[in-house]
Chains A and B, each alone.
Chain A
């Protein structure tokens, strides 16, 4: 279910018109036809993103795409500023002589990190912060406007909810996972057309518009300082 399919979803660009490649890699797409931009590029970007490669080159019939990693560094290279809390199940047997590698990353700020980093790299995808069951916020639909830091749903990890956070302001243009679906870490859950529209969102399409607005400052506070902006 979530497993092989997750990778396939990366390859299908869905409603998104054109994936924004990292700034450094923007030379070649100018010559690339629409299908390439819609289908191949997002997949390649995801590939590059998940690998330790610095550069990725793919050749096809009469075309060639080369992607180079930006200077944002890798997630693994970042100092782990994530909040670590022990889950209730682990309080029982803390062994003194061994490290407890099972220290859990259930903290909200930990959950927000990968998404924020994706935002830094110019991604327009909202991805899963963990492996678990996806629970989108009620009323979420294409056209819903979100602001950076908005919680658009949760991923249930052993009964603990991890926030799915919009990395930047924009309008949801595609929902890639359904309520209750098993999702893996990094799986694309929704796509975002960046930019803030000046017209206020129709409360009808938001469903819980007022509540979401009220929740926004809180959600922002949870994100690591500076990362979401």
Chain B
């Protein structure tokens, strides 16, 4: 085990990693930017070291600054958290080159899973159902034939890039022909490459993901799935586990498919496989996240496994030490992402002084946060203030605890989305467990809030 590690992140996840270090008896050094000098993680750390100015590119995203901080503070390993450098295979390689351990998959594993298309092909070969799609489109005739085979609606995607550019959803051959020209020119402008392919479009889909833990010696377990269908603009705001959309048979098949495929493909450390789930319960693999995820506490509540602790243990070369039969998942958990953003005004991010902060409590209630009364939320980073996680023996009990905990939670000084979470817990579609990823955007969050509060 390491004696001291550098935490190259901020906010609630930096606090979470400090806690894992405490439990394992590992010294925690927090790397921080000038804007985070007064952060909770800095206060809790054994040591803290300023790596750069507020601007992430010169602090949390600066590989030389982070590596230099690890070296001068005598750390043996670097925990990157999520975001920032967490999935950067070049950074992982640089870390190794400087004689330090990257807490996450080794560089070559990150590299193997870096390309979304490549990962789909790789894991498809190892038995994961992937979203139906075409090969590279040669011409319009080829596109029409492929779309017919896949079945409308289809999504036209540029093979060179991401971020929504050159991407169009079409519902008919006519729309397809019209959109092809636009997509080609957009893709060419954005990526210098106009090659396109088609992917099946799922109108009413759910987002379900499987947590896996794999050690260096090829021992792996899954720790069940999480449902992240409550989203706005492809960003998760509430997650729960297990997924209300899966029966036990499909649940088990999904998780087993996932762990078998990643172990066979040589994955290492903790990771999450994301799937789209259609109305008929068919699941399609879309991507793998080679890092800790924001919503990992759901799985911790169900399994009792300290997933951040497992990351550190596995990176230190320790064997998993348990098997699938030892992983027992109990009850139901819901996570509310408490963000400094205004749901009534396009989710505009907020910054400012936290005038009062009071955490909820009671059985089955967990709050992961870096907030304290008097803390100044800086404007430079993401808007996540806290994660409220509630557990109950079943979904109904978890929802009831969620209501109580949301009512107890006090965050004064900045506008938050707490009201939106309360509204979600009163929304019939959510109560029925039928939320789909497009629901909030389709209804509009302001209308959604108004409808629920009026009712």
Contacts and interface: CB of A to CB of B under 8 A. Distances in A.
B114 interface: yes
Interface string A70-111: 000011100010100001011011111110111111100010
A80 to B, nearest CB: 7
Contact of A185 (B34, B38, B89, B115): B34
B50 interface: yes
A167 interface: no
A105 B58 contact: yes
A101 B83 CA distance: 11
A76 B61 CA distance: 14
Interface string B22-63: 000000010000110110000000011111111101110111
Contacts of B47: 3-4
Given A51-B35, A76-B380, A184-B51, A102 B94 contact: yes
A82 B38 CA distance: 27
B64 A160 contact: yes
A131 B61 contact: no
A92 B376 CA distance: 40
A52 to B, nearest CB: 5
B49 to A, nearest CB: 5
B72 interface: yes
B55 A89 contact: no
Interface string A142-177: 000000000000000110100000000000000000
A130 interface: yes
Q: Classify chain B: how many residues form its interface, as a range.
A: 35 or more
Nearest to B193: A96
A131 B91 contact: no
Tell me the interface secondary structure of chain B in the complex: mixed
A125 B73 CA distance: 24
Given A76-B35, A93-B89, A102-B61, A158 B48 contact: no
Nearest to B73: A3
Interface string B82-99: 001100111101100110
Given A52-B378, A97-B161, A185 B90 contact: no
Given A51-B35, A75-B55, A102-B88, A130 B61 contact: no
Interface in B59-80: 59, 61-65, 67-69, 71-73
B379 interface: yes
Interface string A27-41: 000000000000000
A74 B38 CA distance: 17
B150 interface: no
B162 interface: yes
B160 interface: yes
Contacts of B55: 75-76, 80
B53 A75 contact: yes
Given A2-B49, A101-B84, A182-B73, A90 B90 contact: yes
Interface in B361-403: 376, 378-380
A50 B94 contact: no
Nearest to B377: A52
Interface string A182-203: 1111110000000000000000
Given A3-B48, A103-B57, A184 B69 contact: yes
Contacts of A218: none
B144 interface: no
B64 A186 contact: no
Best-buried of A6, A100, A184 by chain B (most CB within 10 Å): A184
A6 B73 CA distance: 13
A160 B89 CA distance: 22
A185 B51 contact: yes
Given A51-B378, A100-B88, 8 more contacts: A52-B351, A53-B376, A92-B93, A93-B93, A101-B85, A102-B94, A132-B68, A160-B64
16 contacts: A4-B48, A49-B34, A50-B50, A52-B54, A52-B351, A52-B378, A75-B55, A76-B55, A82-B58, A89-B97, A101-B84, A103-B57, A131-B68, A158-B64, A185-B50, A185-B65
Interface of B: 29, 34-35, 37-38, 47-55, 57-59, 61-65, 67-69, 71-73, 84-85, 88-91, 93-94, 97-98, 111, 114-115, 160-162, 351, 376, 378-380
